[in-house]
Amino acid sequence: MSASLPHPLESALRALADRLPTEAVTTDPDILASYRTDHAPFCPSGAPAALVRPRSSEQVAEVMRIAHEYGVPVVPQAARTGLAGGANAVDGCLLLSVERMDRILDIDTVDQVAHVEAGVVNAVFSRAVAEHGLFYPPDPSSWETSTLGGNAATNAGGLCCVKYGVTGDFVRGLTVVLADGTLLRTGRSTAKGVAGYDLTHLFVGSEGTLGVITEVTVALRPAAERPLTAVAFFPTAAAACAVVPDFMADGARPSLLEFMDRPTMDVVSAYQDLGFPTDAQAMLIAQSDRGESAAGDLERFARIAESHGGQALVAADPAEAELLLQARRLVGIATERLGTYLADDVCVPRRRLIEMIEGLPAIAEQHRVRITTVAHAGDGNVHPHVLFDRNDDDEIQRAHQAFGAIMDLGLALGGTITGEHGVGLLKRDWLAKELGPAGLRIHHHIKAALDPRQILNPGKVLAASAAYRAGDQPLPEDPSRPVACL
């Protein structure tokens, strides 16, 4: 044990070594370095003291009892696929990873629910329930690696949210370990149940700041029909956006409706040539999984797209459909090849989507940065990527200003600063602006009630939460820029 460690931390590490299996705790510097951050590019991270990888809720409770006793900060982690810095280490913390808690405990085909540990990977789970003729809709882009516990902690979304909703719409109950080690079970597995406060959805989306999710009970659906897919190319981004409210107002229930602007199409084409028309300024990809009604849905999509100047194509077979979807799936990896970027995540009402998309080029021009944009258009969730040179201090500053201007625009249009990525570090200073004074005060009171020593994921979601005690401190002022994450 290093003599330089603060006494409470040294005592906590000794207690962990005494009360947990040897393989559950590591202080190896190389391993700690690999667990310090999530996927948010260049968000700050501290130096963790140890990584703890328990295999049961009881072991998680033991970790939290020790941390609470000695006042040691704990950063919960799952697969670390987040894009807001929510799983990043803070100095002297215990990284508490649930990745080894990966058992599917039960799949109930009668009540169509499943009970799983928090470390179960989304794709593994989805394939397992499919073998029973069932379907778990939430499908974040990271579904091959992200976990159901992490999905619940961030209330993750995905491509099919336009029809099926986000993770929280399917969470029936949770097992949560509180800051003092108390084991809490919330919710129920029944289809109906309104007894008491909805504690389950208090923890869904709380990003590890109120408790550590260790088990999740989720609702399932009967297997969906194989979807049909269509694509449409447009002369302007505004024309593509105009299709969205018209198509949805026509009674459509697409299982996917995705937007890509010309700069994004160029980024994807540079990575893999998919034959995009050179004169198209935007594209929409639509799917319907309504069985015999799917063809009619896409015929309506094509008709509405063409009424706005688009050129539409309905895929003739699954292979062609997969090729169309490949364009959307390549956005992330193609953008990463360009270097440094900030991934924004505003969500606006569908009727304001045109204003949101049309406002982005002006922001890019004003701040002299490059912005590429994709969107889950069907639910108004827009993902602008602000690209910049990490070696240019002036450009870094301008990128932050553009990032903040995008959130300002989203709020002005009646939207939210995050539709699915969460707040984490990246947007914590903007939460006050969206919540307002009363909402922010309630958030701090809830945090203080459940985590009085402020040890759970400190500094995430709520800025200066460690100093804010039950209203004793003044509320933060409205932010002028996001937290530095470079």
CATH numbers and ranges of domains, the chain: 7-97 (3.30.43.10), 104-222 (3.30.465.10), 228-328 (3.30.70.3450)
3-state DSSP assignment of residue 40: coil
Q: Which residues contact 259 (CB under 8 A, 6 or more apart)?
A: 240, 241, 244, 282, 283, 284, 357, 373, 374, 375, 376, 377
299-304, Cβ contacts within 8 angstroms, sequence gap of 24 or more: 300/247, 300/250, 300/252, 301/230, 301/232, 301/243, 301/247, 301/252, 301/254, 302/230, 302/232, 304/243, 304/246, 304/247, 304/250
Q: For 139-176, what is each residue's pLDDT tens digit?
A: 888 889 999 999 999 999 988 899 999 999 999 999 99
**Where is average pLDDT lowest: 212-216, 376-380, 466-470?**
466-470
pLDDT at position 5, please?
A: 66
440 pLDDT above the threshold of 70: yes
Handedness of CA 30, 36, 42, 45 (dihedral sign): negative
Q: Which residues contact 410 (CB under 8 A, 6 or more apart)?
A: 346, 347, 348, 356, 382, 416, 417
Contact of 380 with 349, CB cutoff 8 Å:
yes
Average pLDDT over residues 342-367: 96
Contact of 201 with 80, CB cutoff 8 Å:
no
Beta strands in 295-337 (DSSP E): 311-314
* pTM of the predicted model as reported, rounded to 2 decimal places: 0.91
